[in-house]
Structure 1
Amino acid sequence: MIPEQPNAPTVPDPRGDGLRQVGAVLRAVRREACDVSRRASPPFRNAERPFLRHLPLLAAALVAADLGIGGTLIVADGLGLPWWGAGLVAGVQGPPLVLALYRPVLAWWSSLAASLPYALLAALAEPAGRADEPWPWTAPGLWAHLGVTLLVACRVRTETYVAQWLLTMALGGALTAGLAPPSSVGDLLLWGLFSALGLAVVTVVRGRSRARRALRAQEALTEFERGRRALLEERTRIARELHDVVAHHMSVVAVQAEAAPYRVAEPPPELSESFASIRENALAALTELRYVLGMLRSPEERPEVRYAPQPTLENLDGLVANVRAAGLRIDMVITGEARAVPQRVELSAFRIAQEALSNALRHAPGCRGEVQLTYGRGELGIRVANSPAPDGAPRQRGTGHGVLGIRERASLLGGSVRIGTREDGWFEVAASLPTSEQE
């Protein structure tokens, strides 16, 4: 006796999977075919000219009226009905053409139901009077239902309009088998042939249109991926250059600043403090550089990911103290009631102050400076000003990238910035950053 293997893998049943897929398709077709509330937008809805926007409705109304008049004449002459009765029997077959532009599923059911009165009345008529009449539809009724079927096929899935075609053929076959005149030549086969050809054309056109849309989407995706790959390659190249050049030199500066006091016997305390400050700034720059390198090498820009703690307004005192240690006399003032502000605003305010103080160190060494932080009701103000450099002080020529960066940071937040020389000769950077919308 072979023992049972409770953990033996089960072999999937392809027939069961196929039946489940068929059942899912049938349920989807039933839902769509019975959803009479389904809406559709008529063609040329977004056209600029009003005439084009109303052209489908006008064309459908004219065709419906023409088919209704033709059907009325045929019914009145063939069945001997009065004009008003023939108009009611044949006229109801035209309006579904107009309705198909807006409610396709409801229009199809209405068109199918509108074909029944003629079939029933023709079956009840005298055999001698109905032997040569079309069955189970008049010619206008056939074309009306064919038009509705094709319009609906443009707006529903393939399985749905195939099911509608089969249902029409089944209903027509049932009427022909049960009520058809003995010598009539049925129009059912004619309708089935024309509708099958029309639905085949609709299927081909929709397939080509779907294929073109998929091709355009694939081309757009390929172009996007190509641009994204080029961007990542450029960012990687920049990160590599920053790591190999800037990070190397900053590491050398930090090491030299740490070793420099030991090369002098009994260095003055001021010299040791200066070299210590240089080393701390170099290490801080390396930390910031590692953060920038991490962002450049990341395939996606995710603001929530941080490779190093970002400075906040609480670090502004340390920034000012660092600049004072470099030789500038800086006064700092905070006005307004301090409160929490969005992180982006806080970081931008710190970077603007940092860049403005760095510019003062480069272009006006030995000057006096002022830093003012203002908490307004809906904005955060940061102002950095410095006096002209003393005579004979060495100056460095800038590239203008710092000023551009300040303007970009303020613009990204929807703020404003003013950079220029004041009336008293001091150079001032003043920025106002909105906070109310981001909070």
Structure 2
Amino acid sequence: MLSVEDWAEIRRLCRAEGLPIKLIARTLGVSRNTVRAAIASEAPPKYRRRPAGSAVDEFEDAIREQLKVVPTMPATVIAERVGWTRGITVFKERVRELRPAYLPPDPASRTSYQAGDIAQCDFWFPPINLPVGFGQVRRPTQLPVLTMVTGYSRWLSAVLVPTRAAEDLFAGWWQLIEALGAVPRTLVWDGEGAVGRHRYGRSELTADCQAFRGVLGTKVVILKKAEPEHKGVIERAHDYLERSFLPGREFAGPADFNAQLQAWLQTVNARPRRALGCAPTDRIGADRQAMLALPPVPPATGWRASTRLPRDHYVRLDSNDYSVHPAVVGRRIEVIADLERVRVLCEGRIVADHERVWGWHQTITDQDHLDAANRLRRDRDRLLRPVHDPAHDGGQVAVEQRRLTDYDTALGVDLDANPGTGLVDGGKAS
């Protein structure tokens, strides 16, 4: 076989020096036919081993006959029908090579997204331990990060929420949509319990999700189980979060986690994406323009409950107890909480305002509420002192029936004096 060095030299002598074939053959000690072949060849010589053949070769015609009848016939069935008695592995490989010629064309579809059409949503659980105060630390399974990626622009949004409960999920979901500035026409989920499930070939949404999407005017689709390829955009985003956002970072708490996450998202949404050929910031304008407008009235989200304030003047939310001003003990109150604050209203006035605590089984007390309760207990005898009723003969003693506003006057609290802020300015942890 001619070496690559001789092949290159033959071509040089012929092209550069202009020597005739006979002289090149005599100079290099090769035949003239070898010189002619080297000059005609555009690629260097390469040794190719002659195939030794296979025992399946003589069965190939019989295999083709079976595939003509049933292109999907299993290789084991074909082997039995053609009389193959040797190892099945080499036979299966030959059937695998021949089968595509007898199957109808099956081109793969390419997934593409229209502007404003789809956004994929899911929870990401960062593999970290996060301190949440009171000496408590949450593990990865207790750190749900709600994520959303638009299909057309690949705009990534995310926020860490306290729980996966419907109240926190929809509050976080609305926060992401409101920050986006528009509503995607279709929102895709992967069978989250608070959102719905895929059953009998269709999406079954919860009542909370139906109310939420009804206000937005959008469509919510629940994917089948074990089909991650249908939400590959959000899955790749989760992988990107773990590889790019988490390494080398430390977090003081949930608020610090969200602050660092939002700063990182501003940077990453401006980075070019290979799949797009540009950055999400270059496409988000067209994406928003094709989406639905935000509703004029936002959907009701978060925790809401109505009850009467008990004598201990505390309300419970997510295993924690928050103090309320004792002046409204016995009155009807409304507890409203979102991802950050816990507020209590009485007749439209704020009577408690606390920062929401991420720890569990804690008692959160406002010092003003504690002082007011102590004054009430100390002055209870004076507020409920017996008086003489002149309408009764003999000056009998009757218990005075006081109005609830008298308690406010005794405590120095005027609900009408400062309607903008209510009774308290903020919560304090005990």
TM-score band, normalised by shorter chain = under 0.3
Which structure: greater helix fraction? 1
Q: TM-score, normalised by structure 1?
A: 0.19
TM-score (norm 2): 0.19
- Structure showing greater relative contact order (alpha-carbon pairs closer than 8 Å, 6 or more residues apart): 2
